[in-house]
Amino acid sequence: MTAVRLKPRVRGTFADDVAVLREAVRRRYGEGVARALEGPASKLLELHSRGIVKTNHSVLELICAAHLISMGYEVDVERQLEGPLVCDVYGVKGGGTIVVEIETGFTSPEHALDPLTYLRARIASKVARYSRFADRFCLATPRNNLLEIHSALIKPPAARTRTELERLKALCDLYYTSPPVTMEELRNCRLHSVMVIDVDDLTVQEFSPEEYREMLTRCGLSEWDD
């Protein structure tokens, strides 16, 4: 696998960005991965032309997709799971499936005064709602962002207490009511890993939830479990 670094350049169109990224993927992973990425890239180009996806988020999806393809997965992006629920990256390998949700840390102006609370709820809701659709569920985030994951979501489902679930439910209910995140979803959901994406280098590091939380703790960030 060849080391690659994306160089700063004059901002072009989304199609220009995708072309540069695909060439970087070819140099890093080889022609086979680059060819397999053509389908996901074309899909995102079409969705972008309709104003459905954003550039930064799509770049993260493609880097994650290339990583999974290099591991032997067949990959789709913006995959409809059920009703309006659409996941960012969906992979199939043998008889196993994986769903990856990208979390950039972006918040809209409506959450200017409560960004951390809102992001905590968004992360909890993603784990609760998406994890049942695959054998493995992962959160992915760029290296310049930090994910605040509640300690209860790191535990196996059977180890979560009623109090923890009620607090998570109350948090999600602040922002998600149509439909709400259910107690059953919070009780049974599972987070298998966290992927940290370095966009500049096209690298993806995967950590267990316990490893990721320990890294944040070592950096002096307080644990969130209330």
Q: Report whether pLDDT(226) > 90.
A: no
Which pTM value belongs to this model?
0.93
Looking at residue 110, its pLDDT comes to 95
| Amino acid, res. 40 | P
- What are 63-90's pLDDT values in tens digits? 999 999 999 999 999 999 999 999 999 9
| Amino acid letter for position 88 | D
pLDDT tens-digit series, residues 109-151 = 999 999 999 999 999 999 999 999 999 999 999 999 999 999 9
The confidence score (pLDDT) of residue 222 equals 58
Position 18 scores a pLDDT of 95
Which string of DSSP letters, residue by residue, matches 1-58? Answer: -----PPP-----HHHHHHHHHHHHHHHH-HHHHHHTHHHHHHHHHHHHTT-S-HHHH
Q: Which amino acid is at 5?
A: R
